[in-house]
Structure 1
Amino acid sequence: MTVTDPYRLAKHNALVLCGAQAVVGAGQPIVLSMGGLAGAYLLGADKSLATAPITTFMLGTAFSAIPAAMLMRRVGRRIGFIGGAAATALGGLIAVLALFQNHFWIFAFGLMIIGGGSAFLQQYRFAAADGAPSDFKPKAISWVMMGGIFAAIIGPQLVIYTRDLFEPVMFAGSFAAIIGLAIVGGAILSLLRPTEAKGSKAGDVKPAARPLVQIIKQPRFITAIVCGISSFSLMNFVMVGAPLAMIGCGFSPNEAALGISWHMVAMYAPSFVTGHLIARFGKDRMIAFGMLLMMAAGGVALSGIELWQFWLALVLLGLGWNFSFIGATAMVSECYRPSEKNKVEGLHDFLLFSIVAFGSLMSGRVYNAFGWDMVNWIIFPIAVLCLGLLALNAVRATAARSEA
């Protein structure tokens, strides 16, 4: 019997998931850069609910996280991921029809369906880590996240070339592009190979799954999930408000889309080296470095409202997210056993995107009520909380080593 080299299989799947991230994931910058603007286009004079479609997108991801994990436990990663791509295509179709019908809440519903497909997309990084040898896990996550570099270029460029495709129905072309992206992504995902054996060898003993409460109570798990949720929520909170702020300051939709493009390139570009940096400096330090970069982004945004300040703040925000979120994801992955992965990953993404959804709704409301400055001031207390948890972790680790 031929035994598959686990490193070779892990690299194959990481590359497939990287390609799918690049294509299916390109729909996310379209939603995030145009969702609020399309919402404002569909609304009347009161624009306070402009970011509500992005909120429904995040809620779709949150509410689908646990069902997606349960489905993939039954049918496997490949079929589950292809189903997620199909849901993304369906949501894109609904969004396009809603724009033609000028119906705000149907448009929001379409984005919620796209969000449901995104719940599967968010599992790509876990799928790469789950099937990889322990020393390759951070690199496998980074490889998948590298696909986001291409998504960050493809998505905003599609916005620029398709936004007016069905003029006078604005933005419909951009959401139609999501349908094509999902179809191509589904074809790429069909190349994914299973990493779990169909049966166990004689004598194999696998540790039993622990109760979920026992896993959650681990101090390191708490730190990882708080830092991961905080980094993603802060990044999304500021990013969702940025196009509205740029348009409000007199810049064009294309300049806003390019700002989001640079932001998303910064989100994923460091993935070429993030895995190596985590292996060298540790997860805790990389998360802390990411939080400091996010605080720097807030400082730049508060310094003025020139286009370069918006763009530089978004770039720093993206860089900070990369280091903190990948570090936190790698930290989460070391806190559970293979038999526990589905329930832990489902819970993780449910909590993550529930809070991110709330943040995306509040972004528009905070911006409308208090302005762009307040959107950025919120970064600082949350980042300081995460740095405090990381410092407490370091104290615990030092005490444990001294007792050993």
Structure 2
Amino acid sequence: MTATVTRTGDEASPRVLRRLLAVLVLSQALGGAGMAAGITVGALLAEDLLGSTGLAGLPVALFTAGAALGAAVIGRVSQRLGRRPGLALGHAIAALGSIGVVAAAAGEWAGLLLFSLFVYGAGTATGLLARYAGADLAQPERRGRATGTVLLATTLGAVAGPNLVGPTGALAQAYGIPRLAGPFLLAACAYAAAGLVLLVWLRPDPLHLARHRSAHGAPVAAREPKERERFSPGVVTGATVMITAQLVMIAVMTMTPPHMTGHGHSTQAAGFVIALHVGAMFLPSPLSGLLADRVGRLPVAAASGAVLLSAGVLAGLAPPDSVPLLSCALVLLGLGWNLALVSGTALITDAAPADRRAAVQGLADVGMSLAGATGGMASGLVVAGGGYPLLAVAAGTLAVAVIPAVAHWENRATMRRCPRVDLDHSDRPRDV
């Protein structure tokens, strides 16, 4: 039985909501460090242990597949028990996976490495699912900005993580552990701390507050319509936008470090480029959220497709020895993904009823994770067969072919259902 919220006047006060948002921000900063550190060296570590460039995309495929299972489990746990136990469980599982990767690298056990990377993927799912907790705390007309605030916090750790590849590698080497396993030591500590922060301080639970507000405390204009279907057009559109962006982003990002090191760049240089990319994935979140709230979810989603195309073309045309151009391409890749994620999140949260919201959101992120697994696995094969430029341009073309088309379809469907643009649940919520 789902817990209910008591003392609503006190627990839902602005002071309490600000405190809950601060707890989410702190946990996201810690979790971001764990996520980005592993992403930076995962492909390089697998390439080293497995001895094949064609399999360099396997780690990302594994931990995104793990993220798919993690998103399903965390979504179910959150649906029944709330955001706090669901998110804390995800961080704990990711910490265990990180420890497994370190042990596998030390013992040169390829099987354990692959299994641990799969388990480690739960951290990726947890960090992304936390954005929905931010949306729980906001009224519909401010959901984009609330989502952006939580995602922005990930930048603090996500940018620091790749730049700690050198120091953590040196620390690992001092204890007889391969240098490339060093970032996973950081990931284990960061994920454990993030889970502890949530478990202790994320009280009252954001999802319980959102359910109580929907059932009792929200104004009529802001209440969630009970008649909305689980897979309404808004849910399908939001999920499609996020899934496509995830596939494109993971495919290009995964093969950028091997592409760079294969042309003489150091792992530190590759880490710097990935740090810029991860920063662009999360740093623009407040602006993306503001645009989603003010301009509309669908225009922002359509714009993400164009930005992802420009990223793919630039990455494909950039000379392999040009770190500045590759950096610009990866920054655009992160920005396009961010626009898609924020707008897609708002579309799904708007369309999913409060009593089934966590489960629906978890399923959407399962789709994202499976898309990431597909992109990560296919990326190595495409590069081995046709080269990095082919991968980058093909990925960008896919983004611009799918995302704007889906956004246009949803816009036409919305106009047929709700011809008046000032309805409370139109694509662009009104400010009240």
**What does residue 352 of structure 2 align with?**
336
CA contact (8 A) 1:57 1:112 kept: yes
Instruction: Give distance in 1, aligned partners of 2:152 and 2:88.
Output: 20
Q: Secondary structure of 2:265's partner?
A: coil
Distance 1:341 1:220, change over 3 A: closer
Distance 1:376 1:151, change over 3 A: same
Output one character per residue of 1:149-208: Cα deviation in whole Å (capped at 9) or x when no partner: 11222211221211232336231221111111122212322211223269979x959989
Work out which of the residue numbers 136, 140, 154 in structure 2 matches 1:130. Answer: 136
**What does residue 184 of structure 1 align with?**
193
Output one character per residue of 1:124-163: Cα deviation in whole Å (capped at 9) or x when no partner: 0111112322223211101100112112222112212112
**What does residue 78 of structure 2 align with?**
72
Distance 1:298 1:232, change over 3 A: same
Structure 1 length as normaliser, TM-score?
Answer: 0.91
CA contact (8 A) 1:160 1:257 kept: no
Q: 1:159 aligned to 2:183?
A: no
Work out which of the residue numbers 146, 150, 154 in structure 2 matches 1:144. Answer: 150
Q: Counterparts in 2 of 1:284-363, with a 5 A limit?
A: 284-305=298-319, 306-363=322-379
CA contact (8 A) 1:15 1:143 kept: no
Q: 1:88 aligned to 2:103?
A: no
- Equivalent AA in structure 2 for residue 292 of structure 1: A
**What does residue 246 of structure 1 align with?**
260
- 1:366 Cα shift? 1.0
Q: 1:236 aligned to 2:250?
A: yes
Q: Secondary structure of 1:132's partner?
A: coil
Bigger shift: residues 380-389 or 53-62: 380-389
CA contact (8 A) 2:95 2:192 kept: yes
Work out which of the residue numbers 412, 420, 423 in structure 2 matches 1:395. Answer: 412
- 1:329 Cα shift? 0.9
Q: 1:385 aligned to 2:395?
A: no
**What does residue 68 of structure 2 align with?**
62
Residues paired across the two proteins, number: 399
CA contact (8 A) 1:7 1:132 kept: no
Q: 1:114 aligned to 2:131?
A: no
Q: Counterparts in 2 of 1:201-216, with a 5 A limit?
A: 214-216=229-231
Q: Secondary structure of 2:53's partner?
A: coil
- 1:117 Cα shift? 3.5
CA contact (8 A) 2:32 2:155 kept: no
CA contact (8 A) 1:165 1:172 kept: no
Bigger shift: residues 139-148 or 120-129: 120-129
Bigger shift: residues 266-275 or 351-360: 266-275
Distance 1:284 1:89, change over 3 A: same
Instruction: Give distance in 2, aligned partners of 1:208 and 1:284.
Output: 20
Q: 1:51 aligned to 2:65?
A: no
Q: State the percentage of identical aligned residues.
A: 27
**What does residue 392 of structure 2 align with?**
376
- 1:401 Cα shift? 5.5
- 1:47 Cα shift? 2.8
Distance 1:200 1:321, change over 3 A: closer
- Equivalent AA in structure 1 for residue 237 of structure 2: T
Q: Secondary structure of 1:97's partner?
A: helix
CA contact (8 A) 1:91 1:111 kept: yes
Instruction: Give distance in 1, aligned partners of 2:390 and 2:211.
Output: 55
Instruction: Give distance in 1, aligned partners of 2:189 and 2:416.
Output: 54
- 1:264 Cα shift? 0.8
Output one character per residue of 1:92-135: Cα deviation in whole Å (capped at 9) or x when no partner: 11110000011122112111111124333222011111232222
Q: 1:278 aligned to 2:288?
A: no
- Equivalent AA in structure 2 for residue 188 of structure 1: V
Q: Secondary structure of 2:170's partner?
A: coil
Unaligned runs of 5+ in 1: none
CA contact (8 A) 1:208 1:339 kept: no
CA contact (8 A) 1:31 1:111 kept: no
Aligned-residue RMSD, C-alpha: 2.5
Work out which of the residue numbers 44, 47, 57 in structure 2 matches 1:40. Answer: 47
Distance 1:137 1:6, change over 3 A: farther
- Equivalent AA in structure 1 for residue 23 of structure 2: V
Unaligned runs of 5+ in 2: 1-6, 218-222, 422-432
CA contact (8 A) 1:152 1:262 kept: no
Distance 1:373 1:132, change over 3 A: same
Instruction: Give distance in 1, aligned partners of 2:84 and 2:170.
Output: 35
Q: Secondary structure of 1:57's partner?
A: helix
Distance 1:85 1:199, change over 3 A: closer
- 1:210 Cα shift? 6.9
Q: Secondary structure of 1:164's partner?
A: helix
CA contact (8 A) 1:7 1:133 kept: no
Instruction: Give distance in 2, aligned partners of 1:210 and 1:23.
Output: 39
Instruction: Give distance in 2, aligned partners of 1:127 and 1:197.
Output: 10
